[in-house]
Chain A
Amino acid sequence: AQSVTQPDIHITVSEGASLELRCNYSYGATPYLFWYVQSPGQGLQLLLKYFSGDTLVQGIKGFEAEFKRSQSSFNLRKPSVHWSDAAEYFCAVGLNTDKLIFGTGTRLQVFP
């Protein structure tokens, strides 16, 4: 069955440090790939997406993600984290259906 795994439930980084959030998926073909961010008390906002082509995609707020087919991964990165990046981050995959499958989320805490 198709699945999305975010192995890190909670990550803490210092402001200004680099960040990488992991996402792995299980699917026979290349799915559509997404990262969403949820700030406290808010809905989910699309950060970036990958459909095809260049495997490094840029998103909003200075985030980027790299699709690695050989590792079935789509990790999210940011070179320098800001305190306002503290939120929950969800990886999602879109298959050849109408639905998205979401990971369980990674909560990011940023220390000053």
Chain B
Amino acid sequence: DAGVIQSPRHEVTEMGQEVTLRCKPISGHDYLFWYRQTMMRGLELLIYFNNNVPIDDSGMPEDRFSAKMPNASFSTLKIQPSEPRDSAVYFCASSEGLKAKNIQYFGAGTRLSVL
């Protein structure tokens, strides 16, 4: 398997623009997690899905952030409108959940810069 695939790897945008980050989980994994990593706050869980259904979105910082998982092989994280404080590295991870003892596999991340 190719692992968790994220695109783009780097995104530079201007304040106010819409940003969409994409993730393809490992085939057969029924959990998908979105994380944000910054120097100040470390690694934060934003939202996670089980079988394409959002389970916990309590980590989503504001209504400007939204995430979808239309099918088992694709998820998006959207920021609209983007702000400079959204600049961070966003990671996607997938897992088989408790039946695989919660091992998570991470993508390489998307580095977002909002100017």
Chain B residue with the shortest CB-CB distance to A92:
B104
- Contact of A44 (CB < 8 Å), options: B31, B45, B55, B91: B91
- Number of A residues whose C-beta is below 8 Å from B? 20
Q: Is the CB of A100 within 8 A of B104?
A: yes
Q: Which residue of B lies closest to A49 (CB)?
A: B103
Which of B71-79, B80-88, B94-102 makes up part of the contact surface?
Answer: B94-102
Given known contacts A43-B106, A90-B43, A94-B102, A99 and B91 CB-to-CB distance under 8 angstroms = no
A34: interface (CB < 8 Å): yes
When the two chains form their complex, are residues A42 and B43 in contact, meaning their CB atoms are under 8 A apart?
no
Could you write out 14 A-B pairs with CB less than 8 Å apart? A36-B106, A42-B108, A43-B109, A44-B106, A45-B106, A46-B105, A90-B43, A94-B101, A94-B102, A96-B98, A97-B98, A99-B33, A100-B102, A104-B42
Which chain B residues have a beta carbon within 8 Å of chain A's beta carbons? 4, 31, 33, 42-43, 45, 48, 50, 55-56, 91, 93, 95, 97-98, 101-109
